[in-house]
Amino acid sequence: MGNDSTVVTVINKPPKKDPSGQEACLVVINGVDLGKKYSLAQSSTVIGRSSKVDIQIDEDAISRSHAIIDNLGDSFVVRDLDSTNGTYVNDRPVSRKTLIDGDQVKIGRTIFKFLTGSNIEASYHDEIYRLTTTDGLTQVYNKRYFLKEMEREMSRSMRYDRDLSLIMCDIDHFKPINDTYGHLAGDYVLKQVAQRVVGHIRRDDVFARYGGEEFVILLPEIDKPQAVRIAEKIRKLIEAEPFHFDNVSIPVTLSLGVADLREYRQSIEAPPTSQTVDINCFAFIKLADDRLYKAKEGGRNQVVGD
């Protein structure tokens, strides 16, 4: 008889994950490496200008070892490392702060978004998609998305003979603001101007950062007289109260130019009710931009609609 034997295969189960442990990462939402993801899996992650840190950012406003993020297993804590220009979380200076999902960490002019949770990869891809439509600094729409929406709105408005107006806005004397108070203050002003405007326009309006210190607002179902009144309201809103950054008061004003779709039709010599007019976003924008130029040439801090 042969030897009877039983072979037992032992399957080693992978070690259980510590239920308290969390995955987390930082995603660059404003800065040179836009969209880049940095894992926070190690016990600590140092951010700074030095080549020896974990996340290197080559900016003069950033200290060599600027900040550190500690992975405590069940939470993540950011600490400022006595940097020259400070570490900010959601626009507030911090020395130490426990981060929560969605927090924005600003170091120099670079802004990271902190992501954590059970499906961090999905959150990351959602954030990357959002970056294709949104300006990382101001969190309003970007130029690319704006032009796409503008083309759609122009087509709809011409098809149904509806009103459509456009406001171009530019922060007055923005370069002197940067030169006097620093680029971090300039970034803060851009973000705060955007937030003030967002709070005083309709949900259907399309508000975007067009470039630099220039913003644009597309107003469906609004004629030019109404748009001029809205622009004046925004101008007064910005002028009414200075911005405060690092205990310094910064007065800010806007110049604004206004145009509407009917003028665009006239500028290309199209019949008022024609539905086959070529859509040229830049020709429409130029009408408002020319008036913005007049507002600046006329002394700034004003609205020009003619």
Q: Point out the residues that are catalytic.
A: 213
Q: How far apart are CA 65 and CA 49, in angstroms?
A: 7
Q: How far apart are CA 256 and CA 233, in angstroms?
A: 11
C-alpha pair distances (Å), 69 with each of 38, 72, 115, 139, 228: 12, 9, 13, 24, 48
Q: Are 108 and 85 in contact (CB under 8 A)?
A: yes
DSSP states along 246-283: TTEEE---EEEEEEEHHHHHHHTT--TT-S-PPP-HHH
Sign of CA dihedral 87, 91, 96, 102: negative
Residue matched to tokens 């007289």: 225
Q: Are 258 and 289 in contact (CB under 8 A)?
A: no
Cα 283 vs. chain centroid, distance in angstroms?
A: 26
173 φ/ψ sector (left φ>0, alpha ψ -120 to 50, else beta): left
Q: Specify the amino acid at residue 182.
A: G
Q: How far apart are CA 233 and CA 214, in angstroms?
A: 17
